[in-house]
Amino acid sequence: MPATSGASPRTITRTITRVVSVAGGVLAVATTALVGVGAGAAHAATTPADGVAVGVAGNHLVDAAGHPLRLVGVDRSGTEYACVQGWGFADGPTDAASVAAIAAWHVNAVRVPLNEDCWLGVNGVSPTWSGAAYRSFIAGYVHELNQAGITAVLDLHWGAPGAAVATGQEAMPDASHAPAFWTSVAGVFRSTPGVVFDLFNEPHDVSWSCWLSGCTMPGGWQAAGMQSLLDAVRATGATQPVMVEGLNWGGDLSGWAANAPLDPGHALVASVHLYNFSGCNTAACWDATVAPVAASVPVVTGEVGETDCSSGFTDTYTAWADAHGISYLAWAWDAGGGWSCSNGPGILQDYAGTPNSDGVGYRDHLAALAAVRTSYALTQSWGNGGIGDLTVTNTGTEPVGTTADPWTIRFALPATASVTDMWNATLSADTDGVVTATAPSYTPVLAPGQSITIGYVLAGTLSPPAEVDVDGAAAR
C-alpha cells in the first residue's frame, strides 16, 4: 500500500478447463464456481476440493485438477509491522474463528505481508517477535488459512538494506537481505501447495532495468532485481506461482511484459496495485496496460481499494477485472488501531467481518461471485467437431438477469475451435476466440435454484469452455 494513503504509522507508514474423465467418447468436466457481480460479469473461480493448490497454465491460474481459478480475497495487514514495532506478530486476531470470518465473505485467497528483518531475525528486532518465533507464527497462520480452503499469498512487504531496521516501505528489495529472505521463505513452504509468493511490495522510483536486474540506489545501497529473487525461490525447488509487481507503487504494468524475469518453473504471475488515487485508475488505463499483460500471463491485483469511504471505485474495477479474468485482493481486512475507510484503508468495522462503507460493496460482490455454477460435457463427437452442453445453475438467493436486461454468457475457445450453432441461447458472436450468447426470450431470468443447459455445435478443436462469464449474476 502506498505511503501516500495517509495511513497511521501503526498500520502502514506510508481459463482453460481441464478434462477430468473420459468414458464412452464423452468428456466430463468438473463443476466450477463462477464469480462476478453488479453490472460486471461472473467469472470462473474455484476452491479445489482437495485443498488450495494453485498452479499456472498459459495465462490462467489453475487448481490441482487443472481447472481455471481466480484468486478473490483480501490483504491481512499487520504481520509486516507489529513484530518490528515490538508488540506482537499481527494486528488483530489470527485464530481459526477469525479465518472463518474471512472465509464467510467467500474469499479464496489472503495476502499476508511479511517483514524481512522479523523473518530472518536480524537487525536487533526482539527475538520474542522475530526469527524462529515469527517463522513459526507465519507457518501456523498459513496452515489456518489453508485448512479453511484459502490460498496464502506471502509478500515481502517491508525490508531495509544492511543494518537498517525494516520499519517501512523501501523503493526496491535490498541485495543484503532479500535473496536470503526468499531462500528461507521458499524453503519453508516449498512443499505447501496452498501458497503463492509475491516477490516485493510496490517497487517505485526506479527504471525497468533496475526492477529486473538490480542497481545502486540513492544512499549507495544495492537493490536486488526481480530476477535474482525469482532465482532464489526456484533454487529451493519451490514450484508455486510467483507474483511480480509492476513499477510506480505496483500500479504500472506498461513495461512488465518487455522486462519480465525468466522463470524456469513457468509459473510467473504479474501483479498490479490499484486505488482510487492511483495514476492508473480508469478503465482506459487498465485496457491499455493491464489487459495486454493478462493476455499472456495470469494477473493478480495484489491490492485494490479506495480512501473515499465508498465502494464505487472498487466496484468499477472488480467488474472490469471479472470481464478480463483477473484476480483481485482488497486492501485491507483490518479494523481498529487507526484503520478506517479513509485511513489504511480498512474495509471492516470489526474482525467479526462487519464491513464498513468501503467494504460493503466488496463483500456483496464476493457473495455474488459464489452465486452461479457451471458444468460442461462434450456429448457427441465426430471427425472435426462435436456437441457441447454447458449447464448454468443459479445457486444464490437472487435472480440472475432481469426481463429488461437478460443474462448473457461468454466463454473462451482456442483459435482452432468455433461454435456454428446453439440452442437454449442465441449465439451473438464468436470472434477472437470468445463466444457470446444471450438468453432466450423464454428464460431471460434464472431464478434461485434454476438451471439452463446451453447446447452448441463445436467445429475444430474439441475444447471445453474457459473463462466462463455470466452477466447479471448479482442482480442486487
Which amino acid is located at 104 in the chain? A
**Residue 66, phi-psi category: left (phi > 0), alpha (psi -120 to 50), beta (remainder):** left
Average pLDDT of the chain, as a whole number: 87
Q: Where residue 395 sits, what CATH number does that domain have?
A: 2.60.40.290
Q: What is the pLDDT of residues 296-319, one digit of tens each?
A: 999 999 999 999 999 999 999 998
Q: Where residue 164 sits, what CATH number does that domain have?
A: 3.20.20.80
More confident residue, 469 or 178: 178
Domain annotation covers residue 45: no
- Among 352, 369, 386, the domain boundary falls at 369
Nearest to 264 by CA among 287, 235, 284: 235
For residues 154 and 201, membership in a common domain is answered with yes
**What pLDDT score was predicted for residue 271?**
98
**What pLDDT score was predicted for residue 322?**
85
Contact in structure between 125 and 84 (CB atoms under 8 Å): yes
- Among 345, 369, 393, the domain boundary falls at 369
Residue 212, pLDDT above cutoff 70: yes
For the residues 276-295, what does the mean pLDDT come to? 97
For residues 259 and 406, membership in a common domain is answered with no
- What is the secondary structure of 371-408 as a DSSP string? TEEEEEEEEEEETTEEEEEEEEEE-SSS-BS-SSS--E
For the residues 138-155, what does the mean pLDDT come to? 97
Cα→Cα distances 79→36, 107, 208, 334, Å: 30, 19, 29, 11
Residue 213, pLDDT above cutoff 60: yes
Contact in structure between 443 and 342 (CB atoms under 8 Å): no
For residues 362 and 458, membership in a common domain is answered with no
- Among 347, 369, 391, the domain boundary falls at 369
Domain annotation covers residue 136: yes
How far apart are the two ends of the chain, measured CA to CA in Å? 30
Domain annotation covers residue 37: no
Quote the radius of gyration of the chain (alpha carbons, Å): 22
For the residues 175-183, what does the mean pLDDT come to? 98
For residues 335 and 380, membership in a common domain is answered with no
For residues 349 and 271, membership in a common domain is answered with yes
Domain annotation covers residue 137: yes
Q: Is 281 exposed, middle or buried (0-12, 13-18, 19+ CB in 10 A)?
A: middle
Residue 4, pLDDT above cutoff 70: no
More confident residue, 134 or 429: 134
For residues 188 and 210, membership in a common domain is answered with yes
Q: Count up the domains in the chain and report the number.
A: 2
More confident residue, 96 or 64: 96
More confident residue, 13 or 336: 336
Q: What is the pTM of this model?
A: 0.78
For the residues 84-112, what does the mean pLDDT come to? 97
For residues 180 and 323, membership in a common domain is answered with yes
In eight-state DSSP terms, residue 5 is G
Confidence of residue 395 (pLDDT cuts 50, 70, 90): confident
Q: What is the pLDDT of residues 354-371, one digit of tens each?
A: 999 999 999 988 987 777
For residues 356 and 376, membership in a common domain is answered with no
**What pLDDT score was predicted for residue 34?**
29
For the residues 250-274, what does the mean pLDDT come to? 98
Placement of cell 488505463 in the chain = 285
For residues 383 and 330, membership in a common domain is answered with no
Domain annotation covers residue 221: yes
Domain annotation covers residue 40: no
For residues 295 and 271, membership in a common domain is answered with yes
**What pLDDT score was predicted for residue 20?**
22
Domain annotation covers residue 140: yes
**What pLDDT score was predicted for residue 1?**
65
Reading the block at residue 146, the C-alpha cell is 489453508
Share of the chain above pLDDT 90, in %: 71
Share of the chain above pLDDT 70, in %: 88
Contact in structure between 436 and 410 (CB atoms under 8 Å): yes
**What pLDDT score was predicted for residue 47?**
34
Give the torsion sign (CA, 430, 468, 326, 408): positive
Domain that holds residue 102: 3-16+51-369
For residues 336 and 382, membership in a common domain is answered with no
More confident residue, 249 or 447: 249
Helices (H) and strands (E) in the chain, counts: 12, 24
**What pLDDT score was predicted for residue 286?**
98
For residues 306 and 388, membership in a common domain is answered with no
For the residues 387-406, what does the mean pLDDT come to? 85
Q: What is the pLDDT of residues 39-93, one digit of tens each?
A: 223 333 333 333 489 999 999 998 887 777 899 999 999 999 999 999 999 999 9
**Residue 424, phi-psi category: left (phi > 0), alpha (psi -120 to 50), beta (remainder):** left
For the residues 10-35, what does the mean pLDDT come to? 26
CA distance 239 to 111: 18
Domain annotation covers residue 118: yes
